[in-house]
């Protein structure tokens, strides 16, 4: 499988299937001589029938999952909301997931990264605590995930397109949920979109939270390169260290990034979760996506991710947004190698405008602190935005 990645962008590596068939009718015979109980392997005939049965069941299962209906489970609460549906935004149908125990709670809009990598398939497992105190809105961006329409050309979709869609979606959500303002959260490449939206329309947002915040891309990549080289040397991987050193001129010139297989290998992508596994399990067994949606997810990434990656590389957010007139919080994992905490801190310190500025570091996390330390993140969100 092709790997797509850049800075905070999610990487897709070949995934190993660790499941197997157990309990294959083991026959046990007791010997009279020594009392031992030898275990006989399944006969070839039985093994053959097991394989035939699996071969028949698997296609049926995959077909069912391809066409199975999708939904999001109901929530118990005083005034709950749990919706998964399409919303018409600027001429495109965007899939929106809204969940929370009380619609009167403050509203969060999450902007996913990738590019093109929705978190709707698996995000519910990580946000149960947040749902108690906030109404949470996720959406699949134009040409991504469930918002991807086969046969439609999205090659003209740029970051500006996504920014315009986010602003329009925010206006829709505020009207639909009867809110004057919402809290905007971006993750990874989603911060590239969300930071611009917050800069253009600060009147729509109570605050901005950048998780895995993008910054000066070259500085960020050089920080990550140094971390990967140091980790490789510590492990005695001299070949990796040399290969990484050879990349430095290209990274310094802005024509390359640190290969994400190295970032993952040395623990700078995720430490306490397995996001690849989360996606696979969600596509196979989840309720918000079926395999038809998963096919669109991967097709969109393959076709349109690279252009957005280059846009973020050649036009760093630090040059686009230099002023934000709302409270700004950057939430970073200490071990994040997709987006550098050091470069993010430098960007935060340089931002002009009115409002609080705070850098929050999660000591056990890499690129997904909102998932890797979700209880601590939920507590911080409650304390920061609800005062409890």
- Give me the CATH number covering residue 348: 3.40.50.1820
In this predicted model, what pLDDT tens digit does every residue of 307-365 receive, in sequence order?
998 899 999 999 999 999 999 999 999 999 999 999 999 999 999 999 999 999 999 99
Query: Does a structural domain hold residue 62?
Result: no
- Per the domain annotation, does 9 fall within a domain? no
Picking from 302, 223, 309, 308, the residue whose alpha carbon sits closest to that of residue 263 is 223
Q: Which domain holds residue 295?
A: 81-219+266-385
Q: Is residue 59 part of a domain?
A: no
What pLDDT score was predicted for residue 46?
Answer: 84
Note the pLDDT of residue 32: 41
Residue 196 inside a domain? The answer is yes
pLDDT on residue 39: 55
Rounded CA gap, 153 and 97, in Å? 24
pLDDT given at position 329: 98
Which pLDDT value is given to residue 53?
81
Global confidence as pTM: 0.87
Blockwise average pLDDT, block size 10, the chain, 388 residues: 41 36 37 50 78 84 91 93 98 98 97 96 97 98 96 94 98 98 98 98 98 97 98 97 97 92 97 96 97 95 91 95 98 98 98 97 98 98 92
Q: CB count, 10 Å around CB of 12?
A: 20
Structurally, the chain folds into a number of domains equal to 1
Question: Does the residue 204 lie in any domain?
Answer: yes
Look-up: residue for tokens 């067994």?
285
* 124 phi, psi to nearest 5 deg: -60, -35
d(CA 339, CA 221): 8
What's residue 259's pLDDT? 95
Q: How far apart are CA 282 and CA 291, in angstroms?
A: 10
Among 174, 180, 183, CA closest to 210: 183
What's residue 45's pLDDT? Answer: 79
Quick check: is 42 in a domain? no
CA dist 177 → 97, 165, 169, 172, 331 (Å) = 13, 18, 12, 9, 26
Within a domain: 23: no
Residues 6+ apart with CB under 8 A from 212: 8, 113, 187, 188, 191, 331, 332, 333, 336, 338, 339, 367, 368, 369
Whether 211 is in a domain gets the answer yes
94-143 pLDDT, tens per residue?
A: 999 999 999 999 999 999 999 999 999 999 999 999 999 999 999 999 99
């Amino acid at each position: 499988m092709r790997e797509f990645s850049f800075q905070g962008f999610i990487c897709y590596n070949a995934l190993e299937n660790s499941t197997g068939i157990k309990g294959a009718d083991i026959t046990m015979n007791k010997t009279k001589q020594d009392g031992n109980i030898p275990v006989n392997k399944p006969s070839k005939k039985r093994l053959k029938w097991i394989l035939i049965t699996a071969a028949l069941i698997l296609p049926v299962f995959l077909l069912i999952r391809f066409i199975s209906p999708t939904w999001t489970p109901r929530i118990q609460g005083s005034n709950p909301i749990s919706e998964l549906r399409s919303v018409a935004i600027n001429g495109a149908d965007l899939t929106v997931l809204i969940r929370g125990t009380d619609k009167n709670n403050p509203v969060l809009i999450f902007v996913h990264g990738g590019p093109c990598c929705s978190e709707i398939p698996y995000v519910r497992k990580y946000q149960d605590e947040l749902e108690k105190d906030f109404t949470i809105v996720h959406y699949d961006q134009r040409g991504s995930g469930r918002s991807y329409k086969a046969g439609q050309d999205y090659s003209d979709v740029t970051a500006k397109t996504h920014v315009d869609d986010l602003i329009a979606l925010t206006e829709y959500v505020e009207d639909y949920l009867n809110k004057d303002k919402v809290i905007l959260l971006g993750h990874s490449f989603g911060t590239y979109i969300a930071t611009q939206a917050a800069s253009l329309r600060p009147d729509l947002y109570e605050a901005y939270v950048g998780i895995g915040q993008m910054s000066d891309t070259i500085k960020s990549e050089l920080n990550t390169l140094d971390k990967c080289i140091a980790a490789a040397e510590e492990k005695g991987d001299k070949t990796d260290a040399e290969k990484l050193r050879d990349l430095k001129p290209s990274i310094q010139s802005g024509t390359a990034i640190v290969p994400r297989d190295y970032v993952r290998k040395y623990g700078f992508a995720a430490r306490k979760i397995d996001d690849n596994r989360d996606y696979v399990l969600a596509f196979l067994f989840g309720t918000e996506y079926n395999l038809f949606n998963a096919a669109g997810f991967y097709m969109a990434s393959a076709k349109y991710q690279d252009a957005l990656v280059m846009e973020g590389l050649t036009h760093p957010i630090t040059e686009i947004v230099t002023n934000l007139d709302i409270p700004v919080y950057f939430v970073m994992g200490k071990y994040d190698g997709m987006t550098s905490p050091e470069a993010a801190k430098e960007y935060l310190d340089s931002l002009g405008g009115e409002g609080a500025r705070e850098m929050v570091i999660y000591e056990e996390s890499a690129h997904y602190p909102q998932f890797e330390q979700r209880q601590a993140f939920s507590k911080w969100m409650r304390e920061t935005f609800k005062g409890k």
